[in-house]
Amino acid sequence: MDRVQASQSALSFERVCVEYYIHHSATIMLFDSSAKPASELHDLQRKYRSCLASYEHAHFDLLQSPMLGAPYEIFTTIIEATKLARASRPGNLETLVSAQGLYDQLDQWQHQFDQGQNSKPNVLHGRLYMLAVRILLLKVLSDTNDISIDADINEVASQGLQQLLIQPLGGIFGKYWLWPLAIFGSIMTSTKDINLIRDKLDAITSRSNCSAITVVRYLLEQIWDRMFGLEECYYSVEGLTSLLDADNMERTYALLIS
């Protein structure tokens, strides 16, 4: 699109379309293990560089993000984090180094993001994605058997739950929340926390006629049944491993959607 001649409304529509594609590319990997959107997304970022440039120069002015509510780099990181969390060789040094590098970058982004919220307290929804992708990377790093990782998982999970308690769902279409809810839901073992996730899933179900919500709910209920009685663990990435299992997802889709 000619960015000089185009109207502001046309440019805004272009931005929504680009952001929607980024969001779909990042989140589809949870539900379809065959999806490999990285190269296509790279081409899109290059083609629409000027459309996305405001992220780089606006100091995380998230009001300029009509769809994502967070810097688009968070969503490209989701793609890499999902690949690492599904790696066939857990504990592989290259995988761990990659995960640690992404985690350190996310830590910096979250610090900037949280600072930006001081002036825009109502722009919060992207924070759930930022925290959920950190859980994905901590799952990878937990293969090091470093006990400090457990403390990090507890801290990030607690932040996610606090965000869910204050996060209104009415302003955004329901399916937007499914990905972070699935990630956080999969690591919960406390009845209180599980019930919070259930309530939020009920809320987004009422706003979105989406078969994926039914599938995720079914998988999470299975995970919670297995985790019952392990509340002393509080959070467990074992459930996240099950959620990321491509065979589990495909079987559940076949069972519920056929």
Q: Region 48-72: what's the mean pLDDT?
A: 60
Q: How far apart are CA 142 and CA 158, in angstroms?
A: 17
Per-residue pLDDT at 233 = 65
Is 229 in a helix, a strand, or coil?
coil
pLDDT tops 90 at residue 221: yes
Per-residue pLDDT at 49 = 67
Q: How far apart are CA 6 and CA 11, in angstroms?
A: 7
Residue 59's pLDDT band (cuts 50, 70, 90): very low
User: Tokens 């009509």 belong to which residue?
Assistant: 66
∠ Cα 169 52 39 (to 5°): 95
pLDDT tops 50 at residue 229: yes
Strand partners, 163: none
pLDDT tops 60 at residue 247: yes
Residues 6+ apart with CB under 8 A from 86: 33, 244, 246
Residue 121's pLDDT band (cuts 50, 70, 90): very low
Per-residue pLDDT at 173 = 66
Structure tokens at 241: 């491993």
| Greater model confidence, 51 or 6 | 51
pTM above 0.95, yes or no: no
**Could you tell me where the DSSP H helices lie in the chain?**
8-31, 38-47, 49-52, 54-57, 72-85, 93-116, 126-141, 147-166, 178-186, 191-205, 211-227, 238-244, 246-257
Residue 117's pLDDT band (cuts 50, 70, 90): low
Per-residue pLDDT at 110 = 79
| Greater model confidence, 40 or 123 | 40
| Greater model confidence, 185 or 74 | 185
Per-residue pLDDT at 69 = 76
Percent of the chain with pLDDT over 70: 76
Q: Region 125-138: what's the mean pLDDT?
A: 91
pLDDT tops 80 at residue 31: yes
pLDDT tops 80 at residue 22: yes
pLDDT tops 60 at residue 156: yes
pLDDT tops 70 at residue 258: no
